[in-house]
Amino acid sequence: GAGVSQTPSNKVTEKGKYVELRCDPISGHTALYWYRQSLGQGPEFLIYFQGTGAADDSGLPNDRFFAVRPEGSVSTLKIQRTERGDSAVYLCASSFQGHTGELFFGEGSRLTVL
Amino acid sequence: GQQLNQSPQSMFIQEGEDVSMNCTSSSIFNTWLWYKQDPGEGPVLLIALYKAGELTSNGRLTAQFGITRKDSFLNISASIPSDVGIYFCAGLGGYNQGGKLIFGQGTELSVKP
| pLDDT (0 to 100) of residue A55 | 87
pLDDT in tens, B64-103: 999 999 999 999 999 999 999 999 999 997 555 667 889 9
- Is the confidence at residue B1, as pLDDT, over 70? no
Write out chain A in H/E/C secondary structure.
CCCCEEECCEEEECCCCCEEEEEECCCCCCEEEEEEECCCCCCEEEEEEECCEEEECCCCCCCCEEEECCCCCCEEEEECCCCHHHCEEEEEEEECCCCCCCCEECCCEEEEEC
| pLDDT (0 to 100) of residue A2 | 83
Q: Which of A4, A99, A105 sits opposite B95 (nearest CB)?
A: A99
CB pairs under 8 A between A and B: 78
Q: Which of A48-52, A78-82, A104-108, B62-66 has the lowest mean pLDDT?
A: A48-52
Query: With an 8 Å Cβ cutoff, is B85 touching chain A?
Result: no
- Is the confidence at residue A98, as pLDDT, over 80? no
| pLDDT (0 to 100) of residue B95 | 54
Query: With an 8 Å Cβ cutoff, is B88 touching chain A?
Result: yes
| pLDDT (0 to 100) of residue B66 | 95
- Is the confidence at residue A100, as pLDDT, over 90? no
- Is the confidence at residue A1, as pLDDT, over 60? no
Q: Which of B41, B99, B103 sits opposite A31 (nearest CB)?
A: B99
- Is the confidence at residue B13, as pLDDT, over 90? yes
| Whole-number Å distance between alpha carbons of A107 and B41 | 5
- Hey, is B112 helix, strand or coil? strand
CA-based nearest residue to B99, from A49, A90, A72, A73: A49
Mean pLDDT of chain B: 92
- Confidence band for B16, pLDDT divided at 50, 70 and 90: very high
